[in-house]
Structure 1
């Protein structure tokens, strides 16, 4: 009981790390793809240090402290009418969804290559759709549960942060120009994932494992949902990725809409 009380009352303090850079936000080839996918200028990543030991069972308290911390609140921006604006009211509550994150290779995507979604050349197979004239089997697999390919990647694997990231990139922003081949989605997913996730190698077995905890988060002020956006939208998302050893937390987010047209 005492341990439960300690967990409930535990608080965290945070410091913004503005010098922490992410290579995917500097890579010109990736930036061009984000522009093509209508995500440029709407995707961000920023890091913070924190002062207490983090344990996954205390994720809700951690996230609430995160959004309430003045050093975090002063650095947060949300997008309204195409412009970045600060949060105007204090956060009073949060929703936190733990996201499975165990993958250290891209083998998760192997079934996509052997199921008729992608040709041996890497080109995505086109398909006829009642609503979208320029549709393909990849987006159908990702977005429609009645697709014959929907379960090609298992349900548990679809819950992995690696797959979620891939799906976010494939769906893109409001004016997304979709790729004819799968390779840009795969390579960009890999690059961003490696930037965000921390791993360690077991000195005896040499096995590499993920040490990060990933939390999908949503914050509320007195008026309701405030971050990452007022309206619920699949492509408006925010994840807090925690490295418990470095005591770093990275906020990775995207706001659905029309991205920048120039670098």
Structure 2
């Protein structure tokens, strides 16, 4: 791509939620429990995961086709072009003072970005077996309860949430820094923590099954011809859009950040597609 050529984006009518639903009947039933008003957001063709227990219609997906081959060293310029694209700005939404989603284009023009590449190497849910071996989850899958406490606006009432977010908890080190940086861990964490008034599950299976299918749906996996082993071909970026020094997406600087306000760009360089997965805690 020439030095002055920019990445351009065109929206695709992809429905990530429907793709996840189609993969397993029990997950479809689970999504019926969690999701309302699918594809009924204010922006056409944006699939919305709406957890009636707390995600409040703010967990969203949008997929775009881009024009030129992406290389990892271009992550900053790619992301800036993404957020400065009129197409993207008309599709991505954020909470407004009216309480209804508003296009990102309603905010001031993005001038800079923060970008971190997210490790994405795990191909097995065995990664979470330690939840049982450490006593966070019982052998039958039940999540071990604890006394209620508030932490970072979360009501923590079980050992699973403690290990996910409370750094000085007894079991926090069950997952090290490298483990927590993995995209699979982040997917599981976001689904498990939910929204501001989330009613949590008593068993871990729904979180694991939903996390697994969402992870598989968002990523592209290929088989290496030389070894016949599977590997993940997608690039995942954890991104923030800024106006001058203030974050405007996925949360506004004036509101402060929150672990459940996030935006990931999942880049499939084979198809030249990028999917934005984002949620705003508000």
Q: TM-score normalized by structure 2? A: 0.82
Aligned residue pairs, count? 251
| 3-state SS, counterpart of residue 59 of structure 1 | helix
Cα 1:25–1:238 change in 2 (3 A) is: farther
| 3-state SS, counterpart of residue 164 of structure 1 | helix
Counterpart in 2 of 1:13?
8
Cα 1:109–1:7 change in 2 (3 A) is: farther
**Of residues 103, 116, 132 in structure 2, which corresponds to 1:97?**
116
Give runs of ≥4 in structure 1 deviating > 4 Å.
6-10, 129-134
Cα distance in 2, alignment partners of residues 236 and 12 from structure 1: 26
In the alignment, structure 1 residue 250 sits paired with structure 2 residue 250? no
Counterpart in 2 of 1:112?
131
Alignment gaps of 5+ in structure 1? 1-5, 258-263
| 3-state SS, counterpart of residue 174 of structure 2 | coil
Cα distance in 2, alignment partners of residues 28 and 124 from structure 1: 21
Q: Is the 8 A contact 1:25 1:31 kept in 2?
A: no
1:233-256: CA deviations, max 9, x gaps? 111111011011111010000122
Q: Which has the higher contact order (CA 8 A, sep 6+)?
A: 1
Cα 1:199–1:77 change in 2 (3 A) is: same
1:174-195: CA deviations, max 9, x gaps? 1010111111110110111111
Q: What's the C-alpha RMSD, in Å, of the aligned pairs?
A: 2.1
Cα distance in 2, alignment partners of residues 48 and 92 from structure 1: 21
Q: TM-score normalized by structure 1? A: 0.88
Counterpart in 2 of 1:84?
101
- Residues 177-256 of structure 1: matches in 2 within 5 Å? 177-221=199-243, 224-230=246-252, 231=255, 232-256=257-281
Give 1:37 deviation, angstroms: 4.3
| 3-state SS, counterpart of residue 173 of structure 1 | coil
Cα distance in 2, alignment partners of residues 36 and 76 from structure 1: 21
1:114-136: CA deviations, max 9, x gaps? 10101111001112245488611
Alignment gaps of 5+ in structure 2? 23-27, 36-50
| 3-state SS, counterpart of residue 98 of structure 1 | strand
Counterpart in 2 of 1:168?
190
| 3-state SS, counterpart of residue 151 of structure 1 | helix
Counterpart in 2 of 1:261?
none
Give 1:10 deviation, angstroms: 5.1
In the alignment, structure 1 residue 24 sits paired with structure 2 residue 17? no
Cα 1:134–1:234 change in 2 (3 A) is: closer
Counterpart in 1 of 2:141?
122
Counterpart in 1 of 2:72?
56
- Residues 60-79 of structure 1: matches in 2 within 5 Å? 60-79=76-95
